[in-house]
Chain A
Amino acid sequence: MTNSIHHYDVAIIGGGPAGQAAALVLDQNGARIAVIDEQQRPGGQILRQPPQEFAMAQSMKGKSYTSLKSQLRAFEALNRCDWIGGKSVIGIDRSGGTVDLTLASGDGITQVSANRLLIASGCYDLPIPIPGWTLPGAMGAGGLQALVKAQAVVPDGRVLLAGTHPLMLIVATQVIAAGGTVAEVAFDQRQSFLARLLIKGAGTALRNFGLMLDAASAWATLRRAGVPVTFGQRLSVIEGLNRVSSARIGKRTVHCDAVGLCYGFLPQSDLPRLAGLSVRWAQPTGGWAAEHDGWMRSSVSQIFVAGETSGVAGAPAALLEGQIAGAGIALDLGLIPMDEAEAIRRDAARKQIRVSRFAALLDRIADPTSALTALRDANTILCRCEDVTIGAVETALIQDSDPNSVKLVTRCGMGTCQGRGCEHMLLRLAAHKRGVGPNELRGFTSRFPVRPTRIGDLIG
């Protein structure tokens, strides 16, 4: 562990749209910034970039990407801002007066210290413990998309996309563009609302907005390519001996070699919770969103949040929150006067109205609640790190419905991922058992290190 600590005015965790937007505001106002990301290059999940040495055509052609791309170019042109790529923040310590971050990578441990911290660490695929979900070949649609974006890698054979989220239409076209084959895009929900929105316009201006616009054009592309897009037939089981070979969609068996599960996204909440931020249960996907004030200040002094960390609302919303957080931090540090900060916030807040209406609509369309409620197969693994089944958890819940007791008794959530995969489902089961909402339960305690870290790197 090196002992040289780099000090900054602001450390930003996450190089996606929110982190970039905040960095642009802060850089313009003279702040010394470090942006830390687990990826080697900026972009976040939405504009995930291939490694520099890869010569690869940009696969993200949709219109919703345009403003995000121009922001990325502006961010990459910043020369005072330190980009710290390929590192994970594994710990946050405020006891010394500054916000001290411990960073881990294959090269060992480093430390970064800052007066203010912005957590804009994004989201991840909502894990769905459906029978067969742990078979090789089954993955989150976001993970599938990451493979396509960063490496132009597509799974061999036929890819099935299943879930509730319209993003899977876009992922399907990206798989095809990268040379893959899509067996089917299967929506869990009935056609009515989504289709009205995508095909007929449904009398809302939101139809022409962001992801929906791309989803509509993706659907047209899939139709032309002869890919079936189905509705109202639920994926109930993924089958295969050593890897995925088929899936049950409604009463049909669909032969496929990979399944992308697309039911929505959960905020990455390990760092916010490790730092003691107040969080709320995020509806309708679940997971924990950080609470904040009008300047994106969290409940803990010196720490701000933006983007999916404050609740998954998509890249355009993240960008606006990043701008507000940037202005809020600049104001806090005395870098800009109130009227300038207010001007930035007012401008962003005005745009937020439309963006948040869209996010609310998308939440309604993509609501995974009914699909999740159907997941009660006792033999299905819920915690894949420790091989704990849904049945084992339900048995433990009979004795004590406290999620943290169930964790101790069953080891559900005690593995290397610290519960990122299973916590949301355990909380839903516990809430159901107790007859309350998951928001009334205490989730797992987030622990250092947020990512598994080699012990030899930490000593000293």
Chain B
Amino acid sequence: MLVEQASTGSGASGQNAGSLHFQIERRFLERKGGLGLEGEQTATLSRIAIDDWSTLEDRLGVSLHVHMNGGLMVAENADQVAILKAKADRERAMGLSVETIDGAEARRRAPYLSEGIVAANFMAAEGHADTRKIAPAFATAATAAGAEIQIRTRLTKLEWQGASFRAEIIGSEGAFTVGAKKVLVAAGVWSARIAAMANLHLPLFPVGLTMSASERTPHFLPHLVQHVAQRLSMKQTEAGNILIGGGWPSRLHRVDGIFDLSRPAELIIQSLRNNLSVATKTVPRVADLNLIRTWTGVTAVTPDQLPIAGEFPTMPGLFCAAGGSAFTLGPTFARLVADQMLERERDEADRLLAVASPARFDSLNGFMGR
């Protein structure tokens, strides 16, 4: 049984901008010491995710508007180019196919790029998919495979009872109780609160982000476009809207010193203006398009920026899949965590998910879990 408090895909999986980014993320480069080791560690997962996304539409049997026409991470000066080159070296060493191209070559492949772009890292597998479609498609496939999905249904209590978990749930038809041998927490930003029901700490911290859509325009931008030194992601949807994002903050509501996750984060106008500035500096022609909608979404980050996927050592039987990059890596997490839960090629799944295992935060739970 899958229990969802709202509707499938109504949280971050439906609100993010749909990037399929397999290069080491720019946010990992923001940390002191240059290229973050953490980013590099996700390269293995990225490699698997490329295969997962390439076959997802076939496996689910529906169009998800998956476009893997390549992604460009652009640079505007020599310092940034140096980062691109070092990054590409590391990525190639990890088995990801990335090439650094100069500005002229970048504009040959992507004529919409500004003259100010002096180089780009190009990765052929990158792209984007339609966030509106993914979760509903998975839900349809899961239902067809025999899963029971309860939407507008809320977990209120989760207890380990020695041999199994006992979950108290409130749905539209009233309250009920479910027993389960194994439980997966995949509730995005709410995951920490679910873990707390089981008396566990899960170090996931909410962050509000900003995404924008232009009016529809004839297709001219087939790639995913990112910037190596500034927060930016751009792509064009199947319908023709340009989606602009890249990690610009929005403001979470607070009540009594607690982040209020029941309300959408508040738009910070300056954040949006900065985001649009980077976008128009990179792809000048978007300046003449109308912005039709800016929205905020809330995702979760961990202390080391890596996702959390796997089983809690303190409470065997309880699994988690959350914590950033989970649109790009979501289908892969799903497959590998399912393998773990079913004890199906468990060792291989454990090995691949080692980088994301909740075990690395186990010290937090030395006093918890009982």
Contact = CB atoms under 8 A, between A and B. Distances in A.
Interface stretch (B26-34, B84-92, B223-231, B265-273): B265-273
B287 A459 contact: yes
Interface in B121-142: 132-133, 136, 140
Most buried by B among A102, A405, A453: A405
A116 to B, nearest CB: 20
Interface string A415-436: 1101000000000000000000
A415 B266 contact: no
Contacts of A416: 215, 290, 292
A454 B285 CA distance: 11
Contacts of A404: 7, 10
Nearest to A274: B267
B269 A93 contact: yes
Contacts of A449: 291-294
Contacts, number: 95
Given A399-B136, A411-B239, A459 B152 contact: no
A458 B292 CA distance: 12
Given A408-B14, A459-B280, A452 B294 contact: no
Given A404-B10, A408-B9, A411-B239, A458 B288 contact: no
B214 interface: yes
A48 B17 CA distance: 41
A416 B276 CA distance: 18
A460 B239 contact: no
A447 B294 contact: yes
Given A95-B251, A408-B14, A414 B136 contact: no
B152 to A, nearest CB: 7
A332 interface: no
B264 interface: yes
A460 B273 contact: yes
Contacts of B175: none
A447 B296 CA distance: 9
Contacts of A91: 267, 269
Interface residues of A, number: 30
A230 B267 CA distance: 50
B261 interface: no
Contacts of A452: 215, 290-292
Given A408-B132, A445-B264, A459 B273 contact: yes
Contact of A415 (B9, B268, B292): B292
B6 interface: yes
B361 interface: no
A448 B265 CA distance: 13
Given A400-B8, A404-B10, A449-B294, A458 B272 contact: yes
B76 to A, nearest CB: 16
B7 to A, nearest CB: 4
Interface in B240-281: 251, 264, 266-269, 272-273, 276-277, 279-280
A416 B239 CA distance: 13
Contact of A455 (B264, B266, B291): B291
Given A408-B9, A453-B290, A458 B273 contact: yes
Nearest to A100: B269
A1 interface: yes
Interface in A355-414: 386, 399-400, 402, 404-405, 408-409, 411, 414
Interface in B275-327: 276-277, 279-280, 286-295
Nearest to B295: A447
A445 to B, nearest CB: 7
Contacts of A97: none
Nearest to B293: A447
B273 A95 contact: no
Interface in A81-137: 91, 93, 95, 102
A452 B289 CA distance: 9
B82 interface: no
Given A95-B251, A445-B264, A455-B289, 16 more contacts: A1-B273, A102-B269, A405-B7, A405-B8, A405-B136, A411-B132, A448-B267, A449-B294, A454-B287, A454-B288, A454-B289, A455-B280, A455-B290, A456-B287, A459-B273, A460-B273
8 contacts: A93-B269, A95-B268, A402-B152, A405-B7, A405-B10, A416-B290, A448-B269, A459-B280
Interface of A: 1, 91, 93, 95, 102, 386, 399-400, 402, 404-405, 408-409, 411, 414-416, 418, 445, 447-449, 452-456, 458-460
